[in-house]
Structure 1
Amino acid sequence: MSEKTIMLCCAAGMSTSMLVKRMQDAANEKGIDAKIFACPAAEVDEKLKQENVNSILLGPQVRYLLDNIKKKVEGKPIKVDVIDMQAYGMMNGAKVLEQGLKLID
């Protein structure tokens, strides 16, 4: 199975960096080959050019960008969703990883 790339999109990239680490730890524990990274909403276009992204998860604070980002990836095999607010608040890396992987499969 090839590497899965999950991009977390947030306002500035600070709170999600802790979540990225927890998601990466959960992926490693499960033996899942995943590349997970966070980027500020302002850098989404640039990251989509640089990375082979499979799914994009938006932090609850930027949920208003959902339709905008879905339009950016229209016609591409990239799914977009808003991170479950409870999982985000609890920094539950395993649950958010699962959400990102479900979008891909």
Structure 2
Amino acid sequence: METKKILLCCGAGMSSGFLAQKTRQAAKKEGISVSVEARSIADIASYMSSIDVLMIGPHYGNELEKFENMASPYNVPVVVIPQVVYSQLRGDELLKLALETINDAK
């Protein structure tokens, strides 16, 4: 199975870093091959050509169109992380959402 590349984005990358760790743990438990990285908003443009999905913090929901425009040339889907998943660090739910989004984008 091809490794899926998931990029999480929040303001400075700290909150999403904890969520990325939980998501990696969930993937390992399920035997799913993923790469989950957390980066600040300033860094994400350099990752667009090498990711399968961009997941943004709920506080960026009102900027979804900006992120979609940035990701569009690379055919990368963009998803706003649900508040409950983000605040409760639900790596299992984030993994499920990311994989569904990647599969739906094909």
Assess same fold via TM > 0.5.
yes
Give the count of matched residue pairs.
103
| 2:37 aligned counterpart, secondary structure | strand
Aligned CA RMSD, in angstroms, stands at 1.2
1:1-105, aligned counterparts within 5 Å? 1-49=1-49, 52-105=50-103
**Alignment gaps of 5+ in structure 2:** none
Alignment deviations for residues 7-30 of structure 1 (CA, whole Å, 9 cap, x no partner):
001111111111100000000111
Distance in 1 separating the partners of 2:55 and 2:61: 9
The ranges of structure 1 where at least 4 consecutive aligned residues each deviate by more than 6 angstroms after the TM superposition are: none
Give the Å deviation of 1:76.
2.7
Change over 3 Å in CA distance of 1:81–1:65 after alignment to 2:
same
**Alignment gaps of 5+ in structure 1:** none
- The residue type paired with residue 96 of structure 1 is L
Distance in 1 separating the partners of 2:41 and 2:80: 13
Give the Å deviation of 1:73.
1.7
Q: Which moved more, 1:63-72 or 1:14-23?
A: 63-72
- The residue type paired with residue 22 of structure 2 is R
TM-score for both structures, normalised by structure 2: 0.91
Distance in 2 separating the partners of 1:48 and 1:86: 26
Q: Percent identity?
A: 27
Distance in 2 separating the partners of 1:3 and 1:99: 16
